[in-house]
Amino acid sequence: MMRFFLCCMTLLFMSVLFLKAEEKHTPSGEATHQIEKKKFEPGSFMFDHIGDAYEWHIMTVGHKHISIPLPVILYSKTKGLSIFMSGRFHHGHNSYKGYKLEMSGENKGKITDEEGNLPLDLSITKNVASLLFSIGLILWIFLAMAKPYKRNALKPPRGIQSFLEPIVVFIRDEVAIPSIGKKKYEVFMPYLLTVFFFILFNNVLGLIPVPPGGANLTGNISVTFVLALFTFIITTIRGNRNYWKHIFNTPGVPVWLKIPVPLMPLVETIGIFTKPFVLMVRLFANITAGHIIALGFLSLIYIFAEMSTGLAYGVSIVSIVFLIFMTFLELLVAFIQAFVFTFLSALYFGMATEEHH
Amino acid sequence: MLHQPIKMKLKNQPKDLKSLNDAARYSSMAFQMVIIIGLGVFGGIKLDDWLHMNFPVFTVLLSVIAVVLAIYYFIKDFTFMNRK
């Protein structure tokens, strides 16, 4: 580790020397003007990559963007329904059917009509396409995996079964049963397994830089909101008498805290909402942070390239080594976050179905 | 029906798995505290801005309430988890 660190530092030091040597030869005036013109903005670079988009960007060669166009579905009261491919916008340079892709201002990245109003947007954006792809992938893998069990459940696992069966058993034995209890866990298993594999697959897909990966789906707050909403709905519906009693008439609490001012019921009611809220924010923050770190390391190369090409070469080695290390760490985070979401959902179900003790 | 030998294999390492569960629980509790306090302070600042207050009374009040709530939920979750 120490040797690796020393190597990195030497490279960085050498590139700094290279920069100094190069600076002497840089003619001022025209060259500086050119650099200013193409100034790299790491902020917008990162947020463009972690955000949603109407096209699936693959790469940019020179000034040419190579991307997969996706269907745009819009509805407005005056124009009715319009369906077309996002390629019609030519990356925001053209308008089509009176709609245009805003490149700046308040509605940046959104589609607006001539008056600047927002139509009802049901487009298959990058995140939606990634969502549909992952659902298809999960269905395909699990239906193929389930078939042999249907035929003969006692046969030893084969192929992908031997990889996924331990995970299914792990969720059952280490997540569902300890949190919910042996009597009631079965009802929640389909949801827990679905949510676990959905988050895991999408986290891993998000780490693959090229389509069909690369979308920051589980780092999108709308997606994590819906996942947390499901946990909230199931907890509320499955909540037994004991659960609601603890909220509205908490046992072991002095009466003056409940009547006339219902302080304890109020605190407990806020608690119902904070739990899924925390679930939502945790997944969103962890995955988005992972993507930002990866993009940050990449941005470093371009930031240093603005100072000197030699320095950028030096930094790029360090940057890419760290990027690879972080990507491996993100693989671990992908699993941990899927596990934590499932585990906490199971804990909340356990709280909701717990019998009187 | 799931295959038995694999289950047995997992059962051989209960200590590691228990510590993983515990880590998830306690990290989640810390995260919950951070988010509740953050929400309280953010809500307070926004409310003061919206009401054009001279003294940030809601920021102060909501931060204190958020800290109290965070500690309350922490203790509650902690006792629940220890019961399990």
Indicate whether B7 belongs to any domain: no
* Rounded average pLDDT over A320-334: 93
Question: Is residue A24 pLDDT above 90, yes or no?
Answer: no
Share of chain A above pLDDT 70, in %: 89
Share of chain A above pLDDT 90, in %: 39
Cα–Cα distance, A235 to A45 (Å, whole number): 40
What per-residue confidence (pLDDT) applies to A329? 93
Higher pLDDT among residues A277 and B2, named by residue: A277
Q: Do B1 and A267 touch (CB under 8 A)?
A: no
Indicate whether B15 belongs to any domain: no
Minimal C-alpha gap between B6 and chain A (Å): 6
Residues of B in contact with A148 (CB under 8 A): none
Question: Is residue B4 pLDDT above 60, yes or no?
Answer: no
What is the DSSP code (8-state) at residue A89? Answer: G
DSSP for A304-339, written as a single string = HHTT-HHHHHHHHHHHHHHHHHHHHHHHHHHHHHHH
What per-residue confidence (pLDDT) applies to A200? 95
* Rounded average pLDDT over B41-60: 93
- For residue B80, the enclosing domain spans 31-84
Of A42-56, A308-322, B21-35, the range with the highest mean pLDDT is: A308-322
Residue appearing with tokens 């002497």 = A24
CA–CA distance from A275 to each of A78, A176, A236, A282 (Å)?
A: 42, 18, 12, 11
Higher pLDDT among residues A191 and A263, named by residue: A191
* Rounded average pLDDT over A48-68: 84
Model confidence band, residue A116 (pLDDT cutoffs 50, 70, 90): confident
Model confidence band, residue A11 (pLDDT cutoffs 50, 70, 90): very low
Residues of B in contact with A336 (CB under 8 A): 24
Cβ pair A352, A180 in contact under 8 A? no
What per-residue confidence (pLDDT) applies to A203? 94
Bridge partners (DSSP) of residue A57 are: A67
What is the DSSP code (8-state) at residue A95? Answer: E
What per-residue confidence (pLDDT) applies to A228? 96
Cα–Cα distance, A116 to A130 (Å, whole number): 29
Which candidate in A167, A172, A184, A347 is best for mutational testing of the B interface (most B CBs within 10 A)?
A: A347
Indicate whether B78 belongs to any domain: yes
> Which element (helix H / strand E) includes A76?
strand A71-76
Higher pLDDT among residues B69 and A19, named by residue: B69
What per-residue confidence (pLDDT) applies to A34? 47
Question: Is residue A52 pLDDT above 50, yes or no?
Answer: yes
Residues of A in contact with B83 (CB under 8 A): 357
Minimal C-alpha gap between A278 and chain B (Å): 6
Sequence-distant (6+) residues with CB within 8 A of A176 are A185, A188, A189, A192, A346
Q: Do B31 and A278 touch (CB under 8 A)?
A: yes
Model confidence band, residue A1 (pLDDT cutoffs 50, 70, 90): very low
Higher pLDDT among residues A161 and A140, named by residue: A140
CA–CA distance from A144 to each of A165, A197, A239 (Å)?
A: 13, 15, 35
* Rounded average pLDDT over A56-72: 84
Indicate whether B21 belongs to any domain: no
Question: Is residue B41 pLDDT above 60, yes or no?
Answer: yes
Question: Is residue A4 pLDDT above 80, yes or no?
Answer: no
Q: Do A278 and B83 touch (CB under 8 A)?
A: no
What per-residue confidence (pLDDT) applies to A357? 62
Q: Which two tokens stand for residue A263?
A: 């302080």
Question: Is residue A108 pLDDT above 90, yes or no?
Answer: no
Higher pLDDT among residues A8 and B78, named by residue: B78
* Rounded average pLDDT over B40-52: 94
Residues of A in contact with B73 (CB under 8 A): 271, 274
What per-residue confidence (pLDDT) applies to A96? 83
Indicate whether B3 belongs to any domain: no
Higher pLDDT among residues A239 and A57, named by residue: A239
Model confidence band, residue A17 (pLDDT cutoffs 50, 70, 90): very low
What per-residue confidence (pLDDT) applies to A2? 47
Which candidate in A174, A196, A280, A283 is best for mutational testing of the B interface (most B CBs within 10 A)?
A: A174
Q: Do B72 and A154 touch (CB under 8 A)?
A: no
Q: Do B84 and A178 touch (CB under 8 A)?
A: yes
The tally of domains found in chain B comes to 1
Higher pLDDT among residues A33 and A99, named by residue: A99
* Rounded average pLDDT over A23-37: 45
Mean pLDDT for chain B? 80
Cα–Cα distance, A177 to A180 (Å, whole number): 5
Cα–Cα distance, A63 to A59 (Å, whole number): 10
Q: Which two tokens stand for residue A217?
A: 């789906």
Indicate whether B61 belongs to any domain: yes
What per-residue confidence (pLDDT) applies to B38? 93
Give the neighbor-by-neighbor strand order of the sheet with A80-85: A80-85, A71-76, A120-121
Sequence-distant (6+) residues with CB within 8 A of A60 are A66
Indicate whether B5 belongs to any domain: no
Question: Is residue A165 pLDDT above 50, yes or no?
Answer: yes
Chain pair A-B, CB pairs under 8 angstroms: 72
Measure CB to CB from residue A165 to each of B3, B17, B72 and give the nearest one. Answer: B3
CA–CA distance from A81 to each of A54, A55, A102, B36 (Å)?
A: 17, 20, 20, 42
Question: Is residue B1 pLDDT above 50, yes or no?
Answer: no
* Rounded average pLDDT over A228-241: 94
Indicate whether B12 belongs to any domain: no
Sequence-distant (6+) residues with CB within 8 A of A149 are A161, B1
Model confidence band, residue A27 (pLDDT cutoffs 50, 70, 90): very low
